[in-house]
Amino acid sequence: MASEFDLIARFFSRPVPSALLGVGDDAALLRISPGMELVVSTDMLVSGRHFFSDADPLRLGHKALAVNLSDLAAMGAQPRWALLSLALPDADETWLAGFAKGFFALAERYGVDLVGGDTTRGSLNISVTILGEVAAGRALRRDRAQPGDDVWVSGLLGCAALGLKHMQGECRLPAAFLANCLNRLHAPEPRVALGRALSGCAHAAIDVSDGLLSDLGHILERSGVGAVLEASCLPLETVTDISADLAMHCALSGGDDYELCFTAPSHHRGPVLAAASHTGTPVTRIGHVRAGTGLELIGLDGQIRTMELRGYDHFAN
């Protein structure tokens, strides 16, 4: 049976050109670039809570890193290093090989080096810490939205939630659309390039992991402002087989999309669209920030509704 150290050496020790010292010592040694601030975030995936215990390890390796990259994207930061802490029920080498493959494939695409972590026996639990850099004073924070800002969102909303509903038997999606939704659910693509490109022209940003209403709600609360959204502007995937209500519900309240929701002054529409086209990321203007608190949605019927700023909550659900 392989020891903990064999496993680390076999699966998680890679050359780390960007670090002074990586895996193998008591701690890693990193040097950040002059004029940059260090941006740090951590996110945990727990078996039975964030994924099914028989989930494909390759996609888990991807997703564990992707959700962390998404947090740095939402800060407008350049990801550089990661730490990986794993609790494993057993030393399943096939599982570890798949997990490492998914993790490193994404890490390589984003120039992220794995510089350390922890490995222990326990029920399956994957925790990644991500470190990156942003030019001093340029991070996209949640507390900087201002009345008059446009509210924007990248990509399409609700696909991951529709995929999950299909898996749970709550709806039936046509095959081609289902594949797309499941891909979004299991292997999200973090919007790192867009986040970085927005760091000069957006005021505030968040990644949509718990649902648009909840996540935009965090920006509004932290910034002390309100917002008005237009349902007709929301970027939804339209498929004939699902009801408009379900698509709208998933777009507003479904989690796991990992798109960016951001606010930018209306005189920055040009730079926002340039950032989007330069990074090949679709963006849609969905409303505006106003003084006050709370969020109204102008429905497809023209009615204005006050929305509850709630998404998925691990302790409430």
What's the closest the beta carbon of residue 29 comes to ligand ADP, in angstroms? 11
Cβ-based neighbour number of residue 254 at 10 Å? 26
What's the closest the beta carbon of residue 120 comes to ligand ADP, in angstroms? 8
What's the closest the beta carbon of residue 94 comes to ligand ADP, in angstroms? 17
**Which region, left, alpha or beta, applies to residue 72 given φ > 0 means left and ψ of -120 to 50 means alpha?**
alpha
CB of 88 or CB of 248, closer to ligand ADP = 88
Residue 206 sits at φ, ψ, to 5 deg, of -150, 155
Tokens of 132: 């990156």
66, 21, 25, 59: which is closest to 43 by C-alpha? 66
Q: Which of residues 56-85 bind ligand ADP (CB under 6 A)?
A: 84
What's the closest the beta carbon of residue 47 comes to ligand ADP, in angstroms? 16
What's the closest the beta carbon of residue 273 comes to ligand ADP, in angstroms? 40
Q: What is the DSSP string of 124-142?
A: -EEEEEEEEEEETT---BG
Asked if residue 258 lies in contact with residue 190, where contact means CB atoms within 8 angstroms, the answer is yes
227 binds, among Mg ion, ligand ADP, none (CB under 5 to 8 A by kind): none
Candidates 4, 92, 93, 118: give the one binding Mg ion (CB under 5 A): 118
Candidates 55, 56, 117, 218: give the one binding ligand ADP (CB under 6 A): 117
Asked if residue 12 lies in contact with residue 114, where contact means CB atoms within 8 angstroms, the answer is yes
Tell me how many residues contact ligand ADP (CB under 6 A). 13
What's the closest the beta carbon of residue 100 comes to ligand ADP, in angstroms? 9
The site map against Mg ion for 72-111 (x = CB under 5 A) is: ----------------------------------------
* Piece in contact with ligand ADP (CB under 6 A), picked from 32-40, 116-124, 135-143, 236-244: 116-124
Tell me how many residues contact Mg ion (CB under 5 A). 1
Q: How many CA atoms lie less than 13 Å away from 63 in the CB half-sphere? A: 26
Rounded to 10 deg, the angle between the 244-253 and 212-223 helix axes is 40
- Rounded Cα distance between 14 and 22, Å, is 9
Q: Which of residues 95-114 bind ligand ADP (CB under 6 A)?
A: 114
- Rounded Cα distance between 59 and 87, Å, is 17
CB of 46 or CB of 298, closer to ligand ADP = 46
CA 50, distance to chain mean position in Å, is 14
CB of 26 or CB of 245, closer to Mg ion = 26
Q: Which of residues 118-137 bind ligand ADP (CB under 6 A)?
A: 118-119
* Piece in contact with Mg ion (CB under 5 A), picked from 116-124, 134-142, 168-176, 221-229: 116-124
Q: Which of residues 20-49 bind ligand ADP (CB under 6 A)?
A: 23-26
* Piece in contact with Mg ion (CB under 5 A), picked from 114-122, 125-133, 229-237, 260-268: 114-122
142, 154, 193, 169: which is closest to 286 by C-alpha? 154
What's the closest the beta carbon of residue 27 comes to ligand ADP, in angstroms? 7
- Rounded Cα distance between 216 and 213, Å, is 5
- Rounded Cα distance between 155 and 279, Å, is 12
Applying CB under 5 A, the residues found at the interface with Mg ion are 118
Applying CB under 6 A, the residues found at the interface with ligand ADP are 8, 12, 23-26, 84, 86, 114, 116-119
